[in-house]
């Protein structure tokens, strides 16, 4: 079953920017990705690696992850060794395309002495990865989260400027199915226009309706609307309570059929209602 730890807003922070890493302490994102990849120039990779690994424990109870450089880069192995030693909540790995690559990442973390709590977040961002999403998600119990790399996918599909993300939705749906089939968390990709909050909110709404657990972000201004949209609404919480109450009352009375607001209620609806309440409580805390 999907973890109930809140991951509505997951904010990338540039690993080479000491001021940004300090500012992250005051930003109410559910989780942070301290980035060694796209946000760091080649000549700053080593210094950023040291800075990020030293910063992992500076964010209290917040879930802090490290995004390493890709498997095909000269920095990947050193990044994984350093991250394993630092022991973040997870290591985020770009462009994971196969179960074999997940096994290699897991083996490297174990050889590097990574603690059990350091999980793998696999970025799924190529057509090949979309078509093998279930294999990737099921490859390891240490892999707990799929992260959609929508920028790279849009480039691959020549669809960077298509409104509504229509060409991407088939691939996103495959990954959502893979996450649900394997009990993993799945995070929607970033929205690039940080000045277009209306467009960002619309994409958050779309992502939530599709079934994503949260969204990756590139700017602090995106955190509040993302948290709001991906949190259970008061109406959802109220209905979930009524579903559980009606189901439990029916069980006491020996009734096999339960309806709420005219709809028949089954075990799966009750399970989902309990998940909504648990998530609402986790968000509140």
Residue-range domain boundaries for the chain? 9-230, 234-284
Q: What is the mean pLDDT of the chain?
A: 94
How far lies 58's CA from each of 44, 90, 240, in Å? Answer: 21, 15, 37
Give residue 73's Cα distance to chain centre: 23
Per DSSP, helices labelled H in 12-126 are 18-23, 45-55, 76-86, 99-111
Top-tier CATH class for 9-230: alpha beta
Per-residue confidence at 133, pLDDT binned at 50, 70, 90?
very high
List all residues 6 or more positions away from 114 whose beta carbon is below 8 Å from its beta carbon: 83, 84, 85, 87, 91
Nearest CA-CA partner of 134 in 85, 187, 182? 182
Query: 256: burial class by Cβ within 10 Å (0-12, 13-18, 19+)?
Result: exposed
Global model pTM greater than 0.85: yes
Mean predicted confidence (pLDDT) in 46-75: 96
Half-sphere exposure of 275 (CA within 13 A, CB side): 13
Q: Are 121 and 132 in contact (CB under 8 A)?
A: no
219 to 30, 156, 160, 193, 237: CA distances (angstroms) = 14, 24, 19, 10, 29
Distance CA 27, CA 81 (A): 28
In this predicted model, what pLDDT tens digit does every residue of 216-257 receive, in sequence order? 999 999 999 999 999 998 888 899 999 998 888 888 888 877
Dmax (CA) of the chain? 70
Distance of CA 178 to the CA centre of its chain: 14
Query: Is it the case that residue 285 has pLDDT exceeding 80?
Result: no
Q: Which residues pair with 12 in a beta bridge?
A: 33
CB 98 within 8 A of CB 135: yes
145 with 185: CB under 8 angstroms? yes
Cα 80 from Cα 235, distance rounded (Å): 44
Which pLDDT tens digit goes with each residue over 199-218?
A: 999 999 999 999 999 999 99
Beta bridge mates, 119: 90
Strand, helix or coil for residue 93? strand
Q: Which of 134, 118, 191 is nearest to 160 (CA)?
A: 191
């Amino acid at each position: 079953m999907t973890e109930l730890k809140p991951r509505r807003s997951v904010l990338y922070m540039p690993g080479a920017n000491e001021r940004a890493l300090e500012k992250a302490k005051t930003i109410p994102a559910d989780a942070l990705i301290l980035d060694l990849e796209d946000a760091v120039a080649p000549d700053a990779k080593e210094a950023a690696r040291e800075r990020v690994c030293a910063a992992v424990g500076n964010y209290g109870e917040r879930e802090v992850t490290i995004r390493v450089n890709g498997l095909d880069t000269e920095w990947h192995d050193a990044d994984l060794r350093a991250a394993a030693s630092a022991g973040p909540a997870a290591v985020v790995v770009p462009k994971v395309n196969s179960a074999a690559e997940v096994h290699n990442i897991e083996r490297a973390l174990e050889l590097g002495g990574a603690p059990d709590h350091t999980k793998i977040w696999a970025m799924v961002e190529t057509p090949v990865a979309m078509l093998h999403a279930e294999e990737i998600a099921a490859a390891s119990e240490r892999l707990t989260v799929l992260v959609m790399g929508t920028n790279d996918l849009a480039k691959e599909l020549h669809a960077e400027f298509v409104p509504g993300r229509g060409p991407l939705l088939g691939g996103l749906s495959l990954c959502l199915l893979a996450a649900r089939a394997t009990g993993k968390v799945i995070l929607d990709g970033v929205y690039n226009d940080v000045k277009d909050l209306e467009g960002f909110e619309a994409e958050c709404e779309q992502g939530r309706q599709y079934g994503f657990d949260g969204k990756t972000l590139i700017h602090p201004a995106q955190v509040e609307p993302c948290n709001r949209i991906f949190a259970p609404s008061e109406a959802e919480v109220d209905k979930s309570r009524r579903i559980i109450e009606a189901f439990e009352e029916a069980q006491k009375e020996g009734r096999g059929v339960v309806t709420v607001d005219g709809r028949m209620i089954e075990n799966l609806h009750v399970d989902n209602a309990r998940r909504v309440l648990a998530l609402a409580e986790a968000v509140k805390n």
